[in-house]
Amino acid sequence: MGFKKELLPFFLMLILIMPYGYYFAGKQVYDTVAHTNTDCWGNFDQNTPEQFAPLRNEVPLNESTKSENITSNIMEGLSEYWWPGYENATIEVEDEDLFLSAWYLRQNDSMPWVIFVHGIRGCKSGGELMISSGMLANAGFNVISFDLRDHGESSIDDNRVSGGQDEWKDVVAVFDWLVEEQGAEPDDIGLFGTSMGAGTVAIAFSLDDRMQSVWLDSGYSDMGKIVVEELEFQGLPTFLGPAGIFAGKISAGQNLVEYYPLEAASEIGDRHMYVVHGNQDKRVRLHHGEEMCEIALENGQEGNVECWFEDSVIRYDVGKGMDSDEHVSLMLTHTDDYETRLVDFFTRSLI
């Protein structure tokens, strides 16, 4: 009995400090996962719509002598996707005192617009947006690419990303700007997103029924799962996922699981969705795209939902041997097919 009395203060202290330990561990996780990076993985000061190249680990693929599985027209004829004559725009996010930096090409008032949204720690100058927007610009579409908050040249909000929980408002702001400043009809505006950008436009699509057409490349569907998988990707203990979500709520007032991109699939109605995902993707795992596709097919009208899953691995020389990338890579490994599908989808869903 005396032994238990001696241990009692220890157990009481343990009970008292455990919540603090849980919070501080979660705070470390949240700060690591949510940190932003405004230099766009090295693309920030190199790419413009008039001249750009896709980069991997800050090594231009078209300068590598050992690249494999790269279609020749992307590396040798990249200039066909440049879109000269672009204009700059600064777009306000209403009621938030934030401004978004955008590039846009208005070339035909009778053609639809497509909004391009980058992934985590990327920006409007990323090669994945420049190539895909160039594909649609070549087909006569009007295009706009912009930096999300806390990225690139847009306003710094809190130097953190929220996985689309706040960024979806940026998509709405650009959408409204096209309607109010460019005279676009809401039914003539499509959305394109890669990775976190796909999750972000999916959330916007689920919350704003004016948006009629969305292309999701390598996006995530389940916020709870992607938080845990992000920890694993960064080499952090996955059991701290709930602690990171908890710390985000307490320290930053940020609910990382308030909105789920998957809700776009269940709310699709008579609108249009195209889900694209590489089979070998390690950054955002394939099951996210498969789940989005399955739910969208169940809830969408016949012919309005399409899905494309394909093997896609890029191998390239980084100067110290070969490396690989499997995330948002289909436009580079299956360029002609990607362009055909992309143009056809937005033609059918918006024109």
Look at residue 58 in the predicted model and tell me its pLDDT: 42
pLDDT of the residue at 22:
58
Over residues 255-269, mean pLDDT: 93
Q: How far apart are CA 38 and CA 160, in angstroms?
A: 11
Which domains are present in the chain?
46-222+260-350 (3.40.50.1820)
Q: What is the mean pLDDT of residues 216-228?
A: 92
What is the maximal distance between C-alpha atoms in the chain? 86
3-state secondary structure of 69: coil
Residue range 95-124: mean pLDDT, rounded: 95
The answer on pLDDT for 1 being more than 50 is no
Q: How many CB atoms lie within 10 A of CB 66?
A: 10
pLDDT band at 23 (very low <50, low <70, confident <90, very high): low
Q: Which residues pair with 145 in a beta bridge?
A: 103, 116
Per-residue confidence at 57, pLDDT binned at 50, 70, 90? very low
170 pLDDT more than 90: yes
For the chain, the average pLDDT equals: 85
* pLDDT exceeds cutoff 60 at 190: yes
What average pLDDT score do residues 160-183 get?
96
Tens digit of each residue's pLDDT (9 = 90 or more) over 263-306? 999 999 999 999 999 999 999 999 999 999 999 999 999 999 99
| Residue 189 pLDDT exceeds 60 | yes
Contacts (Cβ under 8 Å, ≥6 apart) of 61: 53, 54, 55, 67, 70, 74, 75, 314, 316, 332
pLDDT band for position 24 (cuts 50, 70, 90):
low
Q: Evaluate whether 190 touches 115 at the Cβ level (below 8 Å).
A: yes
Strand duo 55-56 + 59-60: pairing: antiparallel
**Which has more confidence, 262 or 67?**
262
308: alpha, beta or left? (left if phi > 0; alpha if psi -120 to 50): beta
Task: Return the pLDDT at 274.
Answer: 98
Can you give the pTM of this predicted structure? Answer: 0.88
In angstroms, the CA 29 to CA 139 distance is 44
Which residue spans within the chain are E strands per DSSP? 55-56, 59-60, 87-93, 98-105, 113-117, 142-146, 189-194, 213-217, 272-278, 305-310, 314-317, 322-325
The pLDDT of residue 3 is above 50? no
Sequence letter at residue 144: I
